Amino acid sequence: MKAIRASLLWFSGQGAMVRANLEDDGLLIIGTSDPNPGREVILAAGPYQTTLKKWNFDHPDALINGHIENLKGRILAPGFIDLHVHYPQLDVIGSPASGLLTWLNQYTFKQEQRFADPTHSAEVASLFLDELERHGVTTALTFATAHTASVNALFEAAQGRHMRLITGLCLMDQHAPGGLCNDTEQSLVDSELLIQRWHGVDRLGYAISPRFVPSCSAAQLKGAGLLAAQYPDVWIQSHVAENMDEIAWVKRLYPEERSYLSVYDHFGLLRERSLYAHCLHLDAPDFELLRHRHTAAAICPTSNLFLGSGFFDYQAAEQHGFLYGLASDVGGGTSLSPFATMLAAFYIAQNAPPHQRAAYSTKPQHLWWQHTAGAAQALGLEGVVGNLMPGCDADVLVLNPQASPLLARRTAQAQNLDELLFALIVLGDDRLIERTLLAKTTRGDP
Ligand code: GUN
Ligand code: ZN
């Protein structure tokens, strides 16, 4: 059991009513508990004096007075969640192109072919997870490549450090170099074998991962949908409506479908626990479809800016009420840092035309929520990750607002929580993350 005295940041409320809360003098107690004997969770969180008193009253055999780590001046916050990232694209970051399709062909497909090699996969997987931890990201839904070696390497590395990580074999059997395409039948067999090997083991989860419509044959999309029906609690991840040339290509491939998003629906790939990156150029019936199917949008602001893809419509998200959250989309995205992603989301919302701007979209509390509790909701993991609530996985960040002289000076002048969060979003980087605590799992326990 572990107890820390510090400020606590957590989230409450839904939709436009979401708010962040800061307990200046708080107490967080972490340990294993009966319903979850296999993993470390938050046992208690709240004001220091009352939480301590209640804990000691309820647990006379486990008084914690002498075991409290004092981190006064630090903020404990929920670990960040990245809803969409490509671990094989670390070596692609910062490769400019005129748009998505050129970028894929010129840089991305070349780098991804290297992941046929298990040694390369293991090396990059380890660096990727180091980087996530350094940036305070404790849960990620990530693409791998079309090689099973890339998937196994990432799961093995994440398991070794008790990280909550969701990934899957990238399905792509056409319109890409031979070394990157998988055999249609074999890719579906491999996906199922990988589900059986990894899904639900410790804190790992499997995501059926058709790359995007143009890279998958109808047979492969159909197989992915059938697999999804067979395994209702695995995740689904893909891309939709990112780029106008991509959309025109899908229209040529499926002229009979109402929209790009409808193609996924046709194959049974929209449902709970499905997350679609970008969702930029959708219309009202598409937004309704997202809501109806409980499908989430992964918003990728740095990627959308870098590749010149477009702007996410927050007003539509508010009006139609579908799930969404923030994502880095590295290597189209430019940074694994949630602070960079939140700041880019702010820039976009701040400069969006009024009809795309929702009341909350530029608010720092809401930006932070989209990368924590809101992202957890999009994953179907509300109450499991993304918040400092009893029962949540003990994935906790120790933030040091004094990490640099400028941060210290600026945050000391914050008059309220909005000003503090804004200063952290704008000036924050990996130096702000003093420690990343990952919930331990006890292997073999239920
Ligand atoms: N669409 C299909 N593949 C990709 C990818 O790797 N990155 C982005 N941003 N969009 C995609
Ligand atoms: Zn992507």
Ligand nearest to the CA of 97: 1
Q: Kindly state the tokens that stand for 358.
A: 């929702």
Phi/psi for 262 (5° steps) reads -65, -25
**Can you give the pLDDT at residue 361?**
87
Say which residue the tokens 């197989």 belong to: 223
Q: Decide: 329 in ligand 1 pocket, CB within 6 A.
A: yes
Residue 47 burial (CB < 10 Å; 0-12/13-18/19+)?
Answer: middle
- The alpha carbons of the chain give a radius of gyration, in whole angstroms, of 21
Q: Which domains does the chain carry?
A: 2-79+388-444 (2.30.40.10), 80-379 (3.20.20.140)
Q: What is the pLDDT of residue 65?
A: 81
pLDDT at 442: 64
From 85, 181, 212, 243, the mutation candidate for ligand 1 (largest count of ligand atoms within 8 A of CB) is: 212
> Are 324 and 317 within 8 A, CB to CB?
yes
Q: Map residue 405 onto helix, strand or coil.
A: helix
- pLDDT of 375 reads 98
Determine whether the shortest distance from the Cβ of 242 to ligand 1 is under 6 A.
yes
Selection from 246, 191, 194, 190 nearest residue 215 by Cα:
246
- Can you read off the two tokens belonging to residue 257? 């479908």
Q: Which residues contact 152 (CB under 8 A, 6 or more apart)?
A: 118, 121, 194
Q: Tell which residue, 370, 243, 182, 176, has the closest CA to residue 168.
A: 182
Residue 7, helix vs strand vs coil: strand
pLDDT in the model for residue 446? 33
Alpha carbon distance 376, 184 (integer Å):
32
329 Cα to the center of ligand 1, angstroms: 8
Of 255, 187, 234, 190, nearest to 215 by C-alpha is 187
Phi, psi of 94 (to 5 degrees): 80, 30
168 lines ligand 1 (CB under 6 A): no
Cα of 332 from ligand 2 centre, angstroms: 7
| Minimal-distance CA residue to ligand 1 atom 9 | 332
According to the model, what pLDDT value does residue 359 have?
85
List, for residues 105-153, the tens digit of each pLDDT value: 999 999 999 999 999 999 999 999 999 999 999 999 999 999 999 999 9
pLDDT confidence of residue 63: 82
Is 275 within 8 Å of 296 (Cβ atoms)?
A: yes
Q: How many CB atoms lie within 10 A of CB 34?
A: 5
Cβ of 237 below 6 Å from ligand 1: no
User: What one-character DSSP code corresponds to residue 61?
Assistant: T
Cβ count near 150 (within 10 Å): 28
- What are the C-alpha distances in Å from 47 to residues 22, 52, 234? 10, 8, 37
For 292-329, write each residue's pLDDT tens digit. Answer: 999 999 999 999 999 999 999 999 999 999 999 999 99
Distance between CA atoms of 84 and 251, rounded to whole angstroms?
25
Contact 138, 163 (CB under 8 A): yes
| C-alpha to C-alpha distance for 216 and 227, rounded to whole angstroms | 15
Q: Mutual orientation of helices 118-134 and 148-160 as an angle, nearest 10°? A: 40
- Alpha-carbon distance 429 to 64, whole Å? 33
d(C-alpha 368, C-alpha 214), whole Å = 33
Nearest ligand, CA 101: 1
Q: Specify whether the CB–CB gap between 341 and 327 falls below 8 A.
A: yes
Place of tokens 């479908």: 257
Q: How far apart are CA 318 and CA 341, in angstroms?
A: 20
Q: What residue has token string 């957590």?
A: 10
Phi–psi pair at 73, nearest 5 degrees = 95, -15
What pLDDT, on a 0 to 100 scale, did the predictor assign at position 289?
Answer: 98
Q: Tell how far the Cα of 104 is from the centroid of ligand 1, in angstroms.
A: 7
Helices 184-198 and 218-230: angle between axes, nearest 10 degrees: 20
> In the prediction, which pLDDT does 36 show?
66
pLDDT of residue 35: 67
Per-residue pLDDT of the chain (446 residues), as tens digits, is 899 999 999 999 987 789 999 999 999 999 987 766 678 999 999 999 999 999 999 998 888 888 899 999 999 999 999 999 999 999 999 999 999 999 999 999 999 999 999 999 999 999 999 999 999 999 999 999 999 999 999 999 999 999 999 999 999 999 999 999 999 999 999 999 999 999 999 999 999 999 999 999 999 999 999 999 999 999 999 999 999 999 999 999 999 999 999 999 999 999 999 999 999 999 999 999 999 999 999 999 999 999 999 999 999 999 999 999 999 999 999 999 999 999 999 999 999 998 888 988 899 999 999 999 999 999 999 999 999 999 999 999 999 999 999 999 999 999 999 999 999 999 999 999 999 999 987 654 43
Instruction: For ligand 1, say whether the CB of 100 is within 6 Å of any of its atoms.
Output: yes
Number of the ligand closest to the Cα of 305: 1
